Amino acid sequence: MSNGITSPDMPLYQREGDYIPRVAAVHDLCGYGKCSLGVAIPVLSAAGCDVCPVPTSLFSSHTAFPGWYMHDTTEMLADYLKAWGNIGVEIDAIYSGFLGAPEQVDRIRDLYQMYPKALRVVDPVMADHGQMYATYTQELCNAMAELAQGADILTPNLTEAAIILKEPIGDAWVGENISDDEAHRLVDALLAKGTHTVVLKGIQREDGQIRNFVGTDGGAFFEVKNELLPYMLHGTGDLYCSCLLAAVMAGRTLRESVEFAGDFVHDAMIVSSKQPQFQDRGVSFETMLGRIADLLK
């Protein structure tokens, strides 16, 4: 966990020798359509991490497919984590994403209490393009917003930032295009909630660029640009945050990690476009995992 001012040119995690860090990945598990744990486990494993899943729900497929099935795992999670405590599981980072119920925020707080020195990474997966996801309620959004307070790394898109800040979602939010000044204001407002590092992701520009704006509690502010591709894919947000954390856990700086994540997602989207039914299947990255392993060199 961050214990002071965050600098973009300093590592957020000190990798030591041959030690393999453990990451508690608090996400859903999706049977078909690459997202959530289906992304986090291979990506973080390629970066030399021991990924310890905490499944928040089980899905037959991602929710862009009709007739999906969801099983909420909330009732089992307290006993699940208690069993970890009984066998002395050690955790170096806690990475949360999609949640199935408001009560699951309490289970993440349990993890924070169990592992007070662990890096806290919150991807507040709950909405996009001005709309909450189908399984989310306002109560769950409010609970998710509470996790932003004290996060070491927070990675919202525009809609999620607005929900966390309890601001109205305007037309610009739906189009994912706001001014640099407005992006700076949103990042500052999220930092004011106690977050150490904010990565406001997926700002789309008419000049053919997609930008991620980064701010830290040390006053640093910078942006990272990539080419805006003419299609959207399910799971790119999960891939982005997982790649960012992979680079962090490999000992890279915040700036390096943000740049690596943006480049990786861009290139994975190109790989995906060469697959059959790629816009339904989700983002393909399997042939690129060697690039993540190279972070350790």
Q: Which two tokens mark 41?
A: 């486990």
Provide the angle, in degrees to the nearest 10, between the axes of the packed helices 138-146 and 158-165.
Answer: 90
Residue 15: inside a domain, yes or no? Answer: no
CA angle 120, 126, 127 (to 5 degrees): 130
Residue 97: inside a domain, yes or no? Answer: yes
Residue 277: inside a domain, yes or no? Answer: yes
**What per-residue confidence (pLDDT) applies to 170?**
66
The predicted-structure confidence for 174-229, as pLDDT tens digits, reads as follows 556 788 999 999 999 999 999 999 999 999 887 889 999 999 999 999 999 999 99
**What per-residue confidence (pLDDT) applies to 176?**
66
Domain residue limits at 238:
22-296
The predicted-structure confidence for 91-120, as pLDDT tens digits, reads as follows 999 999 999 999 999 999 999 999 999 999
Residue 9: inside a domain, yes or no? Answer: no
Q: Tell me the average confidence (pLDDT) per consecutive run of 10 residues in the chain, 297 residues long.
A: 71 94 97 94 98 97 90 97 96 96 96 97 91 88 90 95 88 69 95 96 88 95 95 94 98 97 98 93 95 97
Residue 211: inside a domain, yes or no? Answer: yes
> Count of CB atoms within 10 A of residue 114's CB?
17
**What per-residue confidence (pLDDT) applies to 171?**
65
**What per-residue confidence (pLDDT) applies to 231?**
92
Residue 7: inside a domain, yes or no? Answer: no
Residue 11: inside a domain, yes or no? Answer: no
Find out whether 281 and 33 touch, Cβ atoms under 8 Å: yes
Give the domain CATH number at 68.
Answer: 3.40.1190.20
Q: Which two tokens mark 197?
A: 């590092």
Find out whether 96 and 123 touch, Cβ atoms under 8 Å: yes
Find out whether 235 and 283 touch, Cβ atoms under 8 Å: yes
**What per-residue confidence (pLDDT) applies to 169?**
75
Number of domains composing the chain = 1
Residue 200: inside a domain, yes or no? Answer: yes
